[in-house]
Amino acid sequence: MSKKITRKISPVAQKAVAHYIEQSNVLNNRFDRSDVVAGRLRAQAIFAEQAFPTQRDEDWQYTKLTDFVQNHFKVLNKTMVEHSDLHAYHPSFAVTRIVFVDGWFDEELSDDLSELSRGVTIESLRDVYDIKDGADHLFARESAINKEPFGVLNSMLLADGYYLQVDDHVALEQPIFILNVQTQQNHISNIRNHVVLGENAELTLVEKYVSLNTTEDFKACTNVLSEITVAKSASFKQIVIQQQGAGTYYFNNQFVYQAEQSHFNSFYAGLGSVLSRHQNHLSMDGEHIESNQSSACLGREKQVVDSRTDTLHSQVGGISQQLHKYVLDNSAVGVFNGMIYVDRQAQKTDGQMDNKNLLLSERAKMNSKPQLEIYADDVKCSHGSATGQINKDQIFYLQARGIPRAQAMEMITQAFLMEPAEMITNNQIQQWVMDILAKQLNAKKGLKDVEKVTE
């Protein structure tokens, strides 16, 4: 929660604040619709006062921005990318492809959106501005967004993103695949999305965040903000794969609003970036809502992998499930923070949150904070967190059957990391996600060097 205080910030952070306000002004000149400009200016005022969070902020204690603020990422123009450059990122199963390059919608690289099924609309945000009251939509829930520093930054740099709507009673069978590819050094992809599912609508959305250049020297940032409204009895399934390059930053704030009897299933794979933070702000405001938020995160070298959920049960009979698993190697730092808040009238709430972590190195660190806050008296809620090393009895059991030690460790680690992906009901997508996880996990020899094991 942000408090409006004039805080002490370092000269470096101050410079960064000035830089992003300047970037915001550049956008105000370039995209000068008055209502959008007004939104950016409101965000600027907040940002100037709050600046970036520091370690003194409880929510940022383990996710240090000291390196981040030394980079001054710019909102640069879109570059040209060839279809062939993106081939490897697209799934093999049938999807409707939407491509963003450095945060800018790319019509050439995307499928023909006029050919979407009836009742499904996808527009670049820049087109949405021209719809009557379009921009008002975007700023409708500013107060929630303003509680998140990178939400404020997102409003300040608001330029492109997508507006996706599925009308009442429309079930879209083919998943929509959204790819953002970072191509430019020192660039910030600032993406603002709005997803609206009508009553009884169904949608599967697969998002992937990648960098053309995956080396550490390639510095770039992606800052996503999505507002997702899931109307009565609608079902929204979402898979987010974050696989950006080793020198990049990733921030994603998802504000999800569920109405009665709706379903929200979200899986996040946090694999890339030197620092990444993925946040769900879920409001289950209706009776008999179900949700599942799970994640599989892998950290190596000096990666900081942060994933957090904030789940509000405000009505009767809600079910929320969560499984978050981290595998951390080398000096990686994992951060998990989950809050299940059960309001007074949310009786019969069933909220389960589980966080399990596997440390492959003595230097790896996990910071886990699962929280419950319950004001109703007839609920079933649980939360737990466990962190450990690979069990050496498991390794020996596999070895005793002829499986080499390194392979045994891979099998055990892989099985550990895959479990959250089992919540993905579409078999093809699940397989695709598991292949990505396995590939990422086995990409480096890391595992074979592991010597520390535990009883």
Partner 1 sequence: MLLKIENLQAEIDEKQILKGLNLEIKPGEVHAIMGPNGAGKSTLASVLAGRADYEVTGGKVDFLGEDLLDLAPEDRARKGIFLAFQYPVEIPGVSNKLFMQTAVNAAREEQGLSALDMFDFDEYAKDKIDLLEMRPDLLERSVNVGFSGGEKKRNDIFQMALLQPKLCILDETDSGLDIDALRLVANGVNAQRSADRSFIIVTHYQRLLDYIKPDFVHVLYDGRIVKSGGFELVHELEENGYDEIIKQSQQA
β-pair type (162-166, 187-197):
parallel
Burial 338-361 (b: 16+ CB within 10 A, else e): bbbbbbeebbbbebbbbbbbbbbb
β-pair type (333-342, 365-374):
parallel
Question: In Å, how far are 144, 268, 309, 318 from 292, measured between CA atoms?
Answer: 21, 11, 11, 11
Choice from 87, 88, 402, 427 touching partner 1 (CB under 8 A): 402
Our measurement of the distance from residue 59's CA atom to the centroid of its chain's CA atoms, rounded to an integer in Å, reads 16
By CB under 8 A, how many residues form the interface with partner 1?
A: 23
Q: Which stretch binds partner 1 (CB under 8 A): 121-129, 135-143, 201-209, 395-403?
A: 395-403
Amino acid occupying residue 300? R
- Backbone phi, then psi, for 155, in 5-degree steps? -65, -35
Tell whether residue 74 is a contact of partner 1 (CB under 8 A).
no
**CA-wise closest residue to 307 among 250, 258, 349:** 250
Tokens 């009897």 map to which residue?
A: 261
Q: How far apart are the first and last CA of the chain?
A: 41
The Cα–Cα gap between 123 and 98 comes to: 10
Q: Which stretch binds partner 1 (CB under 8 A): 55-63, 92-100, 180-188, 400-408?
A: 400-408
Closer to partner 1 by CB, 372 or 411: give it.
411
Tell whether residue 393 is a contact of partner 1 (CB under 8 A).
yes
Complete edge-to-edge strand list for the sheet that includes strand 304-313 = 120-124, 162-166, 187-197, 220-230, 249-258, 275-284, 304-313, 333-342, 365-374
190 contacts 232 by C-beta, under 8 angstroms: no
Closer to partner 1 by CB, 181 or 296: give it.
296
Closer to partner 1 by CB, 366 or 390: give it.
390
Smallest distance, Å, CB 190 to partner 1?
Answer: 38
Smallest distance, Å, CB 404 to partner 1?
Answer: 5
Which residues does residue 5 pair with via DSSP β-bridges, in sequence order?
Answer: none
User: Exposed, middle or buried by CB within 10 Å (0-12, 13-18, 19+), for 158?
Assistant: buried
Smallest distance, Å, CB 206 to partner 1?
Answer: 23
Closer to partner 1 by CB, 95 or 434: give it.
434
Smallest distance, Å, CB 344 to partner 1?
Answer: 38
Q: Which stretch binds partner 1 (CB under 8 A): 149-157, 298-306, 403-411, 437-445?
A: 403-411
Tell whether residue 263 is a contact of partner 1 (CB under 8 A).
no
Q: Which stretch binds partner 1 (CB under 8 A): 39-47, 147-155, 375-383, 397-405?
A: 397-405
Tell whether residue 57 is a contact of partner 1 (CB under 8 A).
no
Q: Residue 200, CB half-sphere, CA atoms under 13 Å: how many? A: 3
Smallest distance, Å, CB 80 to partner 1?
Answer: 43
Choice from 31, 419, 430, 431 touching partner 1 (CB under 8 A): 419
Tell whether residue 70 is a contact of partner 1 (CB under 8 A).
no
The Cα–Cα gap between 427 and 80 comes to: 34
Closer to partner 1 by CB, 212 or 298: give it.
298
Closer to partner 1 by CB, 375 or 396: give it.
396
Tell whether residue 412 is a contact of partner 1 (CB under 8 A).
yes
Tell whether residue 418 is a contact of partner 1 (CB under 8 A).
yes
The Cα–Cα gap between 434 and 426 comes to: 12
Tell whether residue 411 is a contact of partner 1 (CB under 8 A).
yes
The Cα–Cα gap between 273 and 247 comes to: 6
Closer to partner 1 by CB, 35 or 404: give it.
404
Closer to partner 1 by CB, 133 or 449: give it.
449
Choice from 113, 316, 403, 438 touching partner 1 (CB under 8 A): 403
- Binding to partner 1 (CB under 8 A) within 362-391 occurs at 391
The Cα–Cα gap between 259 and 233 comes to: 7
∠ CA(47), CA(182), CA(148), 5° rounding? Answer: 25
Tell whether residue 11 is a contact of partner 1 (CB under 8 A).
no
Closer to partner 1 by CB, 41 or 438: give it.
438
414 contacts 438 by C-beta, under 8 angstroms: yes
Choice from 398, 426, 431, 438 touching partner 1 (CB under 8 A): 398
Tell whether residue 394 is a contact of partner 1 (CB under 8 A).
yes
β-pair type (263-270, 290-299):
parallel
Smallest distance, Å, CB 412 to partner 1?
Answer: 6
Tell whether residue 427 is a contact of partner 1 (CB under 8 A).
no
Choice from 55, 407, 425, 442 touching partner 1 (CB under 8 A): 407
∠ CA(53), CA(367), CA(344), 5° rounding? Answer: 80
Binding site for partner 1 (CB under 8 A): 391-394, 396-405, 407-408, 411-412, 414-416, 418-419
